Amino acid sequence: MRLKLSTLVFLLLIASSSFAFGRPKEPAKDVAEICVDCVRADVDFLASDELHGRGSGTRDEHLAALFAASLFQSFGLEPALAPTGEYGGYIQRAPLPNPFPDRVAAMLKRQGFDPAGRVDTWNALAMLRGTDPAAGVILLTAHLDHLGIGNPVNGDAIYNGADDDASGTTAVLELARSLSHGPKPKRTILFVLFGSEELGGYGNKYFLEHPPVPLTTIACNLEFEMIGRPDPALTTRTLWLTGYERSNLGPTLAQHGAAISADPHPTEHFFQRSDNYALAKQGIVAQTVSSFGLHKDYHQPSDEISKIDFDFLTHSIQSMIEPVRWLADSGFKPEWVAGGKP
């Protein structure tokens, strides 16, 4: 079964434009450089029309999860779940509600779905095991899904979700690729790509109910959401962190080279609008890295690959490698400031 799934994903990969002209070159094993060609290839595949917008709970979302699982496995990362599980422990299958809430049923109906039937969503996850089991876990996350097939706009019904959130998924994949090179960190790093965020965070909810590590061991969570385009609200082409003032995590990472600052859109309440929030409500210092500048392509078919600023995306991911490596090797304890915990 694993061979068949791997073959399927490989065939889909070579159908995407970046892979059609040869395999992307990876950096040397001892260099923490981003694989520039891989960044473009990841987004090209995830946001391609062939994946039909990676609708929550659809076959296309499942293919995106298998793509991520295949890459995690190729990096030499351990499965986060029992290796006897789906796809060798790199995939977590999560049932969606039955019967569906009205909003979920309406979205799935647009994508061709049994509204009274049962549908699954999928998380892709892998582990870079640290050298000190007592040091805790760093959790790096994004969401795999988007809105799938929806109401046509100017004749286009595919909601590709290039920025939302193929860009964040790519960040987690490429951080996993880069951090898997070199010496193992002190802390374990857990890479998780959630399904069905757009329906209400169902992949995240299932993860919290069936965590691969005790939740009390997670030192912090960084979610990557919409980092494919710079935010014009910032004078520098950098990222921002939701709830920057709520914890000591953002300022400390910035001191160690992360290109992040405070969220320039506090009235949008972005801290509460991504997968990080469910983790934060469990007491985990969990915040989202983003650069969403309120562009008009949000949740539209026009959120396409052509709108991604690949120089910005690549630089943004690169800027996070060494700060995350420092975080995984340090004894620094992320903590909420007074009144910051939700």
Across 309-339, b (16+ Cβ under 10 Å) vs e yields beebbbbbbbbbbebbbbbbbeebebebeee
Residue 117 confidence (pLDDT)? 60
Residue 73, amino acid: Q
Q: What value does the mean pLDDT of the chain take?
A: 89
Angle between helices 59-74 and 168-179 (to 10 degrees): 20
Quick check: helix, strand or coil at residue 251? helix
Q: Distance from first CA to last CA of the chain, Å, rounded?
A: 43
What's the pTM value of the predicted model, to 2 decimals?
Answer: 0.90
- Please determine, for residue 7, whether its predicted confidence score (pLDDT) is greater than 50: no
CA 129 to chain centre: 19
- What is the rounded distance in angstroms from the CA atom of residue 160 to the CA atom of residue 167? 11
Per-residue pLDDT, 173? 98
Tokens coding 171? 């960040």
What's residue 314's pLDDT? 97
Chain-centre distance for alpha carbon 26: 20
200: tokens are 């209400």
Range with the poorest average pLDDT among 79-93, 166-180, 217-231, 317-331 = 79-93
Look at residue 140 in the predicted model and tell me its pLDDT.
Answer: 98
pLDDT tens digits, 233-277: 998 899 999 999 999 999 999 999 999 999 999 999 999 999 999
Domains and CATH numbers, the chain: 2-21+37-329 (3.40.630.10)
**What's the residue count for the chain?**
342
